[in-house]
């Protein structure tokens, strides 16, 4: 590796365990966390981080772990990526906030121009910036309701859209996201998703049948004319990296077009080169009316965006959108650095290459071990679904145990899925190949042990 943005020595790109995981220093910090932070804020892997970059995360005890999580698909360009660090450093010395709605600044506009140009479709677009994925989705729905004058919002099985009242309502899974937090927002309706592995009549029929069922439910139970928006992830993230059967997304989009329904693609997790395209919608040529982005947008600084058809976004009255911090200048500079890094380092191609390395090794794991029921994903967004051998019964305890053992070996992996039985892999796109291979070898060893 080269140097960091400050010109100091780069983080060694190696797995290095010098204590058990978590080590004594992390355990001390965990005790403080437990006394100061409510348990509702969970911890996947209780090592306290001191540095991170490339493909590693270094903890307070000096352990260096291989990162297959990217802070949930956020540090696509790597942690403390030089392009991000340089821009943020410069900005933090100039000014840290003015509120874009009070006295604007150029970087906000530059991010919006870039997103208008880079998101799918060459129609006229507008973008505005907010702080989180949930806030972006919530605002996309506000815009769609305002522009159409309709109340209903349609979402899908296994969907995840955030933790605010509206986005928690849009989210499918009860535990842990919704339990005890109701009553939920009105006028939200859920329809089937084309989940090939679990489609009752088999994956071949999945796209056709799931789309037909979804459309029939919209027509019969809601009335297409009452629907403001359909909100869908092009690959369901928290729901288990479910890639909808090919043909499903185009059918849903076609139905939306025909009925004046705003098609909102939630690309908060799939965006910014993660899937081997800049945006996952591109894979099937989907051009969303509105696209929401966050996570990978700014290398870890809090930023999110709503990008969409100019006629929809322009429908909202002056002052109807915004927020104190939306498009904070540090986060905007970070986003510009991310876009430069994606281009200069060819990270779209890197993501595709990561998929070419990971998917064959995961498939060979599936051939050898019946506990691996399904392997799926695109680019650097891949997963395995664990089942009781000989059945398709979800096996969440196996997923949890594999994750636990990977963590102990110094490999950060995350779980996901409606049934909690999916292990998902989201390495930074800049991870060196030797660490990617080493991480996969650890995973193979741990699955074999189970």
Minimum Å gap between C-beta 21 and ligand PLP is 26
Residue 139 lies near ligand PLP (rule: CB under 6 A): no
Which residue, 264 or 384, is less far from ligand PLP as judged by CB?
264
What SS3 state is found at 13? Answer: coil
**Closer residue to ligand PLP in complex, CB, 238/409:** 238
Out of 156, 160, 197, 248, point to the residue binding ligand PLP (CB under 6 A): 160
Stretch of 14-22, 28-36, 233-241, 254-262 lying at the interface with ligand PLP (CB under 6 A): 233-241
List the one residue out of 182, 184, 131, 129 whose CA is nearest residue 155: 184
CA distance 121 to 311: 14
> What gap in Å lies between CA 436 and CA 86, rounded to an integer?
27
Write the CB contacts of 205 (distance below 8 Å, at least 6 apart in sequence).
199
User: Using CB under 6 A, which of the segments 18-26, 159-167, 273-281, 393-401 binds ligand PLP?
Assistant: 159-167
Question: By CB under 6 A, which span of 83-91, 114-122, 261-269, 378-386 interacts with ligand PLP?
Answer: 261-269
How near is the Cβ of 79 to ligand PLP at its closest, in Å?
A: 17
Q: Any idea which residue has 């999110």 for tokens?
A: 304
114 binds ligand PLP (CB under 6 A): no
Q: What angle do CA 118, 159, 374 make, to 5 degrees?
A: 95
CA distance 99 to 107: 13
- Taking the least distance from each CB to ligand PLP, the nearer of 162 and 379 is 162
Is it true that the peptide bond before 361 is cis, omega within 30 degrees of 0? no
The answer to whether 240 touches 385, Cβ cutoff 8 Å, is: yes
* Region from 262-270, 312-320, 341-349, 439-447 binding ligand PLP, contact rule CB under 6 A: 262-270
- Measured between alpha carbons, how far is 384 from 68 in angstroms, rounded to an integer? 13
- Quick check: 233 binds ligand PLP (CB under 6 A)? yes
Q: How far apart are CA 153 and CA 184, in angstroms?
A: 13
Q: Establish if 74 lies at the interface with ligand PLP (CB under 6 A).
A: no
Does position 132 interact with ligand PLP (CB under 6 A)? The reply is yes
Q: Using CA atoms, how far apart are residues 249 and 253, in angstroms rounded to an integer?
A: 6
> By CB under 6 A, is residue 134 in contact with ligand PLP?
yes
**Nearer of residues 61 and 266 to ligand PLP, judged by Cβ:** 266
Pick between residue 236 and residue 348 the one whose CB is nearest to ligand PLP: 236
Residue 26 or 307: the one with the smaller Cβ distance to ligand PLP is 307
Q: How many Å apart are CA 94 and CA 33, to the nearest integer?
A: 34
The region that residue 417 occupies, defined by phi over 0 for left and psi between -120 and 50 for alpha, beta otherwise, is: left
Least separation in angstroms between CB 365 and ligand PLP: 25
| Interface pick for ligand PLP out of 166, 281, 294, 301 (rule CB under 6 A) | 294
State the DSSP string of 111-145: HHHHHHHHSS--S-EEEEEESSHHHHHHHHHHHHH
Nearer to ligand PLP, 268 or 273 (CB): 268
Residue located via tokens 């986003």? 335
Q: C-alpha angle 133/136/142, rounded to 5°?
A: 145
Whichever of 107 and 293 has its CB closer to ligand PLP, that residue is 293
User: CB of residue 304 vs ligand PLP: minimum separation in angstroms?
Assistant: 6
Residue 266 binds ligand PLP, judged by CB under 6 A:
yes
Residue showing the smallest CB distance to ligand PLP in the complex: 133
* Chain contacts with ligand PLP (rule: CB under 6 A): 132-134, 137, 160-162, 233, 237-238, 266, 268-269, 294-295
């Amino acid at each position: 590796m080269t140097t960091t943005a400050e010109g100091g020595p780069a983080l060694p790109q190696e797995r290095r365990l010098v204590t058990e995981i978590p080590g004594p220093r992390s355990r001390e910090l965990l005790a403080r966390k437990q006394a100061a932070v409510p348990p509702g804020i969970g911890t996947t892997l209780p090592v306290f981080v001191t540095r991170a970059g490339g493909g590693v995360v270094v903890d307070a005890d000096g352990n260096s772990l291989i990162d297959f999580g990217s802070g949930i698909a956020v540090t696509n360009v790597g942690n403390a990526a030089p392009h991000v660090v340089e821009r943020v450093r410069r900005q933090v010395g100039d000014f840290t906030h003015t509120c874009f709605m009070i006295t604007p600044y150029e970087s906000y506009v530059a991010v919006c121009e870039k997103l208008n140009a880079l998101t799918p479709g060459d129609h006229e677009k507008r973008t505005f910036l907010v702080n989180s994925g949930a806030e972006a989705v919530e605002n996309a729905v506000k815009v769609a309701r305002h522009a159409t004058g309709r109340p209903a919002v349609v979402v899908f099985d296994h969907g995840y859209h955030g933790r605010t009242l509206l986005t928690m309502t849009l989210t499918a899974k009860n535990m842990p996201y919704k339990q005890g937090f109701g009553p939920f927002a009105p006028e939200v309706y859920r329809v089937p998703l084309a989940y090939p592995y679990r489609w009752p009549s088999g994956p071949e029929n999945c796209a056709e049948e799931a789309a037909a069922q979804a459309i029939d439910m919209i027509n019969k139970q809601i009335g297409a004319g009452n629907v403001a928006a359909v909100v869908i992830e092009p690959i369901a993230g928290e729901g288990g990296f479910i890639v909808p059967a090919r043909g499903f997304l185009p059918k849903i989009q076609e139905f939306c077009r025909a009925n004046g329904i705003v098609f909102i693609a939630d690309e908060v997790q799939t965006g910014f080169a993660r899937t081997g395209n800049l945006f996952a919608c591109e894979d099937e040529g989907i051009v969303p009316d509105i696209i929401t982005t966050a996570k990978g947008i700014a290398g870890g600084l809090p930023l999110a965006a709503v990008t969409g058809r100019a006629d929809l976004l322009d429908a909202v009255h002056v002052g109807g959108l915004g927020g104190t911090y939306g498009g904070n200048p540090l986060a905007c500079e970070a986003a510009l650095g991310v876009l430069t890094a994606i281009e200069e380092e060819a990270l779209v191609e890197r993501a595709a290459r990561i998929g070419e390395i990971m998917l064959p090794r995961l498939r060979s794991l599936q051939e050898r071990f019946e506990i691996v029921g399904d392997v799926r994903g695109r680019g650097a967004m891949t997963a395995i679904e664990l089942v009781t051998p000989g059945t398709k019964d979800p096996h969440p305890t196996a997923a949890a145990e594999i994750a636990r053992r990977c963590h102990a070996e110094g490999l950060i992996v995350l779980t996901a899925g409606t049934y909690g039985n999916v292990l998902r892999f989201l390495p930074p796109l800049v991870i060196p190949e030797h660490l990617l291979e080493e991480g996969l070898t650890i995973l193979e060893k741990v699955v074999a042990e189970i």
